[in-house]
Structure 1
């Protein structure tokens, strides 16, 4: 039985408790550890789909269009949109839910914008725990939209079961955009805004570069504006999730391994920073570097050796 009232509320479907629990884990408040401890054994049922790609690819609009199609397939849907972080408040500054207006009034859908907080690849460090909270609350399909911060938006693949990579025509050098790190991480590739000129050539480039690879991922054309191709995308997502369900435990183990590695690295980084602050030799080596008496590599080796001897 849950100890915290907020956990009892969220597992019973109370949206206010759910929203508050996500805020707590997002801000890493003192209660966050207890929340995760109480819900952890209840998690593992939800499936997650990440949407990534260059900024302006229309991720938010497409996700908004996908929601009713996924509901029609029998899913209880939640959306987490990872936005850039405000340098002033530390909060999300885009508010991607504005571009999902058609679903804002749907009480069956839960949407939340989260700040990336400087995490690599625009993926919030607390995203995994927010997914767990939604999982425990009974949402079986969680759509995660990553922030479009550059061409190497690949970190999201560590926290989702399926990755959808979006491209859009007429955003500069199509070939260069397709080559830029995203061609190896997608499970489904989408040319969005297919209603505008340039969609056909971009689709052909994707087919030539990705379609004949060993993985043979689906390559689709959609238009969030007209709705064309959106149902087909939802059906492909549903099909792939079902096909991979037998191997989910293997995938879950890999994601947990990545998470544990990240958490241990964070703890070690914090401890090292604290140790350096108190280490008199560290300041001395900075002085030596400034006087060019030692090179950075040698200085780093000597400081590390003094910390871990």
Structure 2
């Protein structure tokens, strides 16, 4: 038999072979164009740096001074806080209460002292005012006693009787200034309590007296009596008029029917008493003087 032919693969021996390959890379350096600096600009910049001092522009002295102050304040605050923290609260609880009590007591005392001083000052003022009124009344009383003259008449004379709150008064007709109907009154500030008001009658300004309050203020309970006033009895040639409740008529009076007063005493406005009617006969001149002086019927009792 013929020998088999060898396989083709056996004829060739495969050997590994190194292959050369160029290295590959993804980095591609860029070549930048280098600009050459301008020598003139460099020289100018160097000159500016030499002329200026950057340290001076920072104002280090001012900044250091401010920082020093802040550090000092912080140290002082820290020192105070440390001192406060060193205090123990318990020992100071009691002094605070004592201090509060000590403060409250003088305030109360001061207020009481002020009240006392105000009261004393008010009392002193009232006393001075009262003494002044008494002195004026005394002086007026002395003047009345000195200037007062009795009005005893030698002949019969006519009188007008008028009523004031149930009390009858008499005034000589020859000393009567007239009679007016009571109308609307203007109340003036600063006048005495017995001043009823100012009434305008034609061209006259009449000063109207609250006769009841002037004569018998202590017997008045309220102000309702004023509603009964209807007339004004004028005194002589003055502008003073007595408010009257009712006109009781006139009478020819015998001089012996009057118990005449010979001295002014404490009632200078009283000329005498009409015996039968037991009413006061008014001393017109003295009454006008008392009204001008602002005195009432009790002023001369002090």
TM-score of Structure 1 vs Structure 2, range by shorter chain = under 0.3
Q: Decide which structure has greater strand share.
A: 2
When normalised by structure 1's length, the TM-score is: 0.22
When normalised by structure 2's length, the TM-score is: 0.23
Q: Decide which structure has greater helix share.
A: 1
Greater Rg by CA: 2
